[in-house]
Amino acid sequence: SQQGEEDPQALSIQEGENATMNCSYKTSINNLQWYRQNSGRGLVHLILIRSNEREKHSGRLRVTLDTSKKSSSLLITASRAADTASYFCATDVGGTSYGKLTFGQGTILTVHP
């Protein structure tokens, strides 16, 4: 079964608004990553947060991780129409499975100009 589950499945906002996507997972992890996918294209890595980190920033992206709740959130601030894409969380449980990511179902984000 999928390790990560995103919420909401779809999100529609206006340009300039913030977008928040959530991810829940089931087992202990080594790290959690967020990826973006434009329609019909490959995925692009956005950000990685390790299990001993609680928050990380990269440009307009802010990721939080709560290992006690087994959840993460991705915040995109001041969204732009170009942010329209699907966003996936992916977990790495480490150990002998290090580098093998398990992806969630994704959140489809639509940003209206």
Partner 1 sequence: SQTIHQWPATLVQPVGSPLSLECTVEGTSNPNLYWYRQAAGRGLQLLFYSVGIGQISSEVPQNLSASRPQDRQFILSSKKLLLSDSGFYLCACTTTREKLFFGSGTQLSVL
Name beta bridge partners: 93.
Answer: none
Chain positions contacting partner 1, by CB under 8 A: 2, 4, 31, 33, 35, 40-45, 48, 88, 90, 92, 98-106
Nearer to partner 1, 15 or 56 (CB): 56
Q: How far is CA 3 from CA 13, 22, 77, 80, 113, in A?
A: 27, 13, 26, 29, 34
In this structure, how many other beta carbons lie within 10 angstroms of the beta carbon of residue 60?
Answer: 14
Separation between Cα atoms, residue 24 and residue 71, nearest integer Å: 4
Please check whether residue 90 is in contact with residue 101, taking contact to mean a CB–CB distance below 8 angstroms.
Answer: yes
Separation between Cα atoms, residue 41 and residue 39, nearest integer Å: 6
Query: Minimum distance between the CB of residue 27 and partner 1, rounded to whole angstroms?
Result: 16
Nearer to partner 1, 89 or 111 (CB): 89
Nearer to partner 1, 85 or 101 (CB): 101
Query: Minimum distance between the CB of residue 101 and partner 1, rounded to whole angstroms?
Result: 6
Query: Minimum distance between the CB of residue 28 and partner 1, rounded to whole angstroms?
Result: 17
Nearer to partner 1, 40 or 59 (CB): 40
